[in-house]
A and B are shown apart, each in its own frame.
Chain A
Amino acid sequence: MKLFQKKYDRSAYLLVLPYILFFLMFVAYPLVFSIVLVFHRWDIVTPMQWVGMKNFERLIHDPLFFKSVFNTLTFLLIHIPLQIIVALGFALLLNSKIRFRSFFRTIYFLPVVVSGVVVTILWQQLYSFDSGLLNKFLMIFGIPRIPWIVSPEMAMPSVAIMATWKNVGIYIIMFLVGLQNISPELYESSNMDGATRRQQFFSITLPLLNPTIVVVLILSTIGGFSLFIEPYVLTGGGPMQSTLSAVLYIYNQAFYFNHMGYAATLGFVFALVIFAVIMLQKKAVEMESNS
């Protein structure tokens, strides 16, 4: 049997050939071409025009670029803590001795499988200032109506709340899996040492869920920078560009203004920003767990 393993399997090249072709067409070519594009002005119809660093100069002076980064960070600052708290809360509830666990799990996961378009159309009604269900619900308790998506201050937080509602199901299950992987002996022995529930949560549960929290951080960050359909349908990026997301801005530059070169430059720089943010998060988590 050793014979089989020693020599090279030539047929392997045929099997991986589809990937090589795919890589050349949809990864390598676009990457190289994006480098070409960032140095050009191009409306896709007339020939490309070399502009050197002009696209980058324009980007540094473009308030909308900074606005879209700021909007994404606003989104992340609300979305990530909210997601972790809500997911962890429900995971703790589901992890205790209860009946119908799989029923609740199924319901909480429902928004995850449904298209973002559906969720956004639905929430557009919930968020409506005059006739939305959320404001009607608040009014029952005499709470004044909230301008969810009509005020520039509230619009991005509203998008973040909606995105949390849509995605939290995944993280509930992830935290639940994480909780179930914690050995019960740890709790038993700390019980004997007289630890309170609270102490157990902060010195056993939370540290051991750290890997899950890192996953939530990274996936939410990628998600935040990929935000497109929610603001596109809900607000069109408004009011006053307050929900203009990174991808929506790329889309507008490319397909409303036909600025292919500048849109590619935006994509390029956003990719660098994503890497930077994720690196920072990783560093922060490492420092946290070392201390």
Chain B
Amino acid sequence: MKKIIKYVLLILGAAVFAYPFLWMFAASLKPEIEIGGFSLWSSNFSFKNYDQVFARIPIARAFLNSIIVSSVTTLSVIVFGSMIGYALARLNFLGRNLLYYLILFTMMIPFQITLIPQYVLMVKLGITDSYLALIAPTMISTLGIVMFRQFFMSIPQAFIDAARIDGCSDLKIIFAVIWPLSRPVVITVAILSFMASWNEVLWPIIVVRERTLMTLPQIVTLFTIGGQAEALLGLQLAAATLLALPIIVAYSFFQRYFIDSMVSSGVKG
């Protein structure tokens, strides 16, 4: 009896978290008048709402922009993060502790305080409305550095010494010796940074006004609140589905990595 109650609660919970997404997907395929119902099925399913979304906003271009911005950001975060994490973990240099404290200090600064000055910096550099403005402030992640440093400290010195005797440079040691040994942390930092970048809205809204440079979440947001969707639910839900789908597909393949990344970043961050 107790067991049954447990399963009922677990299944109810699953319904609460999953049903709204299924409903959203189904509703995005329905004609506007049928959307209010609970049903996940309609005999009038069609892609008309999607056609409308593609016709009204440059969403394919926004998708490409998001892919570019998120990929470059992620690559930069793991490459620079590894270099700095390696220096902090394995090299001896004057000011190493000071630098580490500086990084921990940076992590504690609330973004509310730097948001406006960072925008002003973009204006002064004349790079608003550019990929550079979208990418530059997130090219290095302090959380990434801390996670790399911690992992790299556990790698046996023998690997590094052997590579040095072979005449490897630091860069070669990092990317040819350490990276293959550090798969989990590289994947974790990559997932965290890609997700954060893919889902970010506030910064794009501030620095990009040019429609062809907008990111996917940005254009979906402005489409929904800006009146272009004309309060048509089907269009809004279709746009939302297009934004959710890539990350849900990635999640279904790498769910364990996603969950572990998010939880470990929360504990450490």
Chain A interfacial positions (CB closer than 8 Å to B)? 1, 4-16, 18-19, 22-23, 25-27, 29-31, 33-34, 37, 44, 90, 93-94, 96, 98, 104-118, 121-126, 131, 133, 136-137, 165, 169-170, 173-174, 177, 215, 219, 222, 225-226, 228-229, 232-233, 236, 246-247, 250-251, 254-255, 260, 263-264, 266-268, 270-271, 274-275
Contact = CB atoms under 8 A, between A and B. Distances in A.
A267 B93 CA distance: 36
Given A113-B247, A250-B116, 7 more contacts: A4-B164, A113-B251, A121-B240, A125-B27, A125-B237, A173-B262, A246-B112
Nearest to A20: B99
A170 B83 CA distance: 29
A98 B221 contact: no
B119 interface: yes
B86 interface: yes
B176 interface: no
Nearest to B220: A117
A64 to B, nearest CB: 16
Interface string B215-256: 001001100110000000100110111011001100100010
Nearest to B137: A26
B121 interface: yes
* Interface majority SS (helix, strand, loop, mixed), chain B: helix
Contacts of B27: 125
Given A19-B140, A136-B36, A109 B258 contact: yes
Contact of A271 (B9, B103, B113, B251): B113
B259 A173 contact: yes
14 contacts: A1-B161, A16-B84, A16-B87, A19-B140, A98-B6, A98-B10, A107-B17, A109-B262, A114-B248, A118-B240, A121-B239, A133-B23, A215-B267, A233-B221
A16 B164 CA distance: 20
Interface string B195-214: 10011011000100000000
A31 B117 contact: yes
Interface of B: 6-7, 9-10, 13-14, 16-18, 20-21, 23-24, 27, 35-36, 38, 80, 83-84, 86-88, 91-94, 96, 99, 102-103, 106, 109-121, 123, 136-137, 139-140, 145, 157, 161, 164, 169-170, 195, 198-199, 201-202, 206, 217, 220-221, 224-225, 233, 236-237, 239-241, 243-244, 247-248, 251, 255, 258-259, 262-263, 266-267
A34 B114 contact: yes
* Interface majority SS (helix, strand, loop, mixed), chain A: helix
A170 B161 CA distance: 40
Contact of B109 (A19, A27, A136): A27
Contacts of A232: 221, 225
Contacts of A26: 114, 118, 121, 136-137
B92 A9 contact: yes
A117 B205 CA distance: 13
Contact of B145 (A4, A19, A121): A19
B69 to A, nearest CB: 14
B117 A30 contact: yes
Given A108-B13, A131-B36, A118 B93 contact: no
Contacts of B240: 117-118, 121-122
B263 A170 contact: yes
Nearest to B38: A133
Contacts of A112: 262
